[in-house]
Amino acid sequence: MKKLLLGVLIAAGLMACEGDRGPQGPPGQDGLTIIGQTYEYENVDFTYEPAANLYSRLLEVPSEIEVLESDAILVYRLEEVSGDNGPIETWSLIPQNFFLPQGTMQYVYNHTAADVELLIDGNFDLSTLDAGFTTNQVFRFVVVPSDFAKDPKINIETYDELEKAVLQQDFQLKEFAVQ
């Protein structure tokens, strides 16, 4: 009886496969792997611009990194390195705000396919800003296709969440070290 029931289910399943072929899906390449790239700059020092009352630093995209005009570049600032069993890095996505006794300051950025401009902006005299915010900073840059970056299901708020999202997609991150 079990064999008969199994045979009927298989036959019904095969009959369900008959009929006209459905419409062609969107154009694309089967098996395409989208590759994102990541690189870091260490020991970043900002320059104060008194006329604008802000700090800035222009960093070139390394020559081995390919950035298309349509790509998004996400910027993370190394917040801290801690851990009892070895170093654990904590990265914060920019823009990043700090509420200080003098007022509010913010790390922001803009980019082209060739460079990234990092800025420190604020609502007080930034020439008084503690050097801990303006010298010896470490930034990680993640270049991703814009369709991936704008997907509302993808959490890019922390670098760890971005890595998890990457692992769930047909997507790879290539890491480069900038000297």
Q: What is the pTM of this model?
A: 0.66
Q: Which two tokens stand for residue 102?
A: 């003098």
Residue 84: CB atoms within 10 Å: 5
Kind of pairing, strands 34-44 and 171-177? Answer: parallel
pLDDT digits (tens, 9 = 90+) for 105-160: 999 999 999 999 999 999 999 999 999 999 999 999 999 876 655 566 666 666 66
Residue 175: its pLDDT value, please?
A: 55
Q: Which residue type is seen at 159? A: Y
Residue 42: its pLDDT value, please?
A: 95
Task: For residue 66, name the pLDDT band (cuts at 50, 70, 90).
Answer: confident
Q: Which two tokens stand for residue 140?
A: 């990680």
